[in-house]
């Protein structure tokens, strides 16, 4: 029956292309976000993936704040993009090669993806300016700072380059932790992991053949840049995301509270009194 689900995916992709071509030029930001969220949820249902969103602060997990922010997450699968879109549509940063992919590249472009040419160092500066500008306009920008996918058992060190954007704009970083579970048992599953030499088609087949999958999205408190050190911000964001992905919400909240405290200035010590001369 996999071929029926693949047929449904192709038809769903064509529907997305038609929506972007016909409706998006006439729609506002909120209407586009509604269509992206609905399309992503439908794609996940076809793939047998249900989404659970948890906010460790206890807030209703119906989307992020309207303020612009940099959304950072661990990266496990090509499904991650649609899982995050099902919670809150964001403008992802992706390598420029994706723009040339048939159909998919055009669809990514029309849904607001920001493309970066990794081989050109100067392009990183352009992308930083673009990210800062769209966040200042209230958009959410999504990045996977690990730079690659993993099996989800750990979180790799975060690359710090794009962390300069929220520092320059004085905007928060929104940490998100992802993991994939067997929906029946609640145990971690590797069915969604897009790693090693696995092709996209092989990964898709693994997802479609697997028992029903639950994608858990854990939202943490926003990190506020309190210094101009992007490496410090990247390290803090990784620590929070790791806690979120491992289900350690209290630790994630404690880390954010600690990192959001501005550094206390070191008070000058009074000079020692001169020794008495006998």
Domain ranges of the chain: 2-259
Helix axes of 200-209 and 2-22: crossing angle, nearest 10 degrees: 120
Q: What angle do CA 259, 128, 178 make, to 5 degrees?
A: 55
Residue 274's pLDDT band (boundaries 50, 70, 90)? low
Instruction: Please tell me the distance from the alpha carbon of residue 208 to that of residue 1, in angstroms, as a whole number.
Output: 10
Instruction: Please tell me the distance from the alpha carbon of residue 115 to that of residue 127, in angstroms, as a whole number.
Output: 8
Per-residue pLDDT tens over the stretch 157-202: 999 999 999 999 999 999 999 999 999 999 999 999 999 888 888 9
Model pTM above 0.85: yes
Number of H-type helices and E-type strands within the chain: 9, 7
Q: Which residues of 58-91 are buried (b: 16+ CB within 10 A; e: fewer)?
A: eeebeebeeebbbbbbbbbbebbbbbbbbbbbbb
* Overall average pLDDT of the 18-25 stretch: 93
Q: What angle do CA 112, 113, 119 make, to 5 degrees?
A: 150
Per-residue pLDDT tens over the stretch 53-98: 999 987 655 555 557 999 999 999 999 999 999 999 999 998 888 8
Let me know: does 44 contact 52? Beta carbons within 8 Å.
Answer: no
* Overall average pLDDT of the 250-257 stretch: 94
Three-class SS of residue 181? strand
CATH of domain 2-259: 3.40.1130
Instruction: Please tell me the distance from the alpha carbon of residue 72 to that of residue 147, in angstroms, as a whole number.
Output: 11
């Amino acid at each position: 029956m996999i071929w029926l689900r693949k047929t449904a995916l192709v038809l769903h992709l064509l529907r997305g292309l038609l929506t972007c071509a016909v409706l998006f030029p006439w729609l506002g930001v909120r209407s586009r976000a509604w269509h992206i969220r609905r399309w992503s949820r439908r794609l996940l249902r076809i793939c047998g993936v249900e989404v659970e969103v948890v906010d460790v602060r206890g807030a209703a997990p119906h989307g992020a704040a309207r303020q612009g922010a940099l959304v950072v997450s661990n990266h496990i699968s090509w499904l991650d993009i649609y899982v995050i879109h099902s919670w809150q549509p964001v403008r992802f940063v992706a390598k420029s090669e994706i723009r040339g992919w048939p159909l998919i590249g055009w669809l990514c472009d029309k849904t607001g993806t920001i493309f970066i040419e990794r081989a050109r160092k100067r392009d990183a500066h352009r992308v930083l300016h673009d990210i800062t500008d769209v966040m200042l306009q209230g958009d959410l920008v999504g990045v996977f700072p690990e730079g690659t996918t993993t099996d989800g058992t750990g979180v790799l060190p975060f690359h710090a380059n794009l962390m300069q954007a929220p520092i320059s704009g004085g905007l928060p970083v929104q940490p998100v932790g992802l993991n994939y579970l067997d929906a029946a048992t609640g145990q971690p599953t590797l069915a969604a992991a897009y790693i090693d030499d696995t092709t996209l088609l092989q990964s898709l087949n693994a997802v479609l053949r697997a028992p029903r999958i639950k994608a858990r999205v854990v939202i943490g408190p926003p990190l506020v840049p309190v210094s101009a050190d992007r490496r410090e911000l990247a390290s803090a964001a990784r620590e929070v995301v790791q806690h979120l992905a491992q289900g350690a919400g209290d630790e994630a909240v404690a880390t954010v509270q600690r990192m959001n405290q501005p550094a206390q200035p070191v008070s000058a010590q009074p000079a020692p009194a001169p020794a008495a001369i006998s």
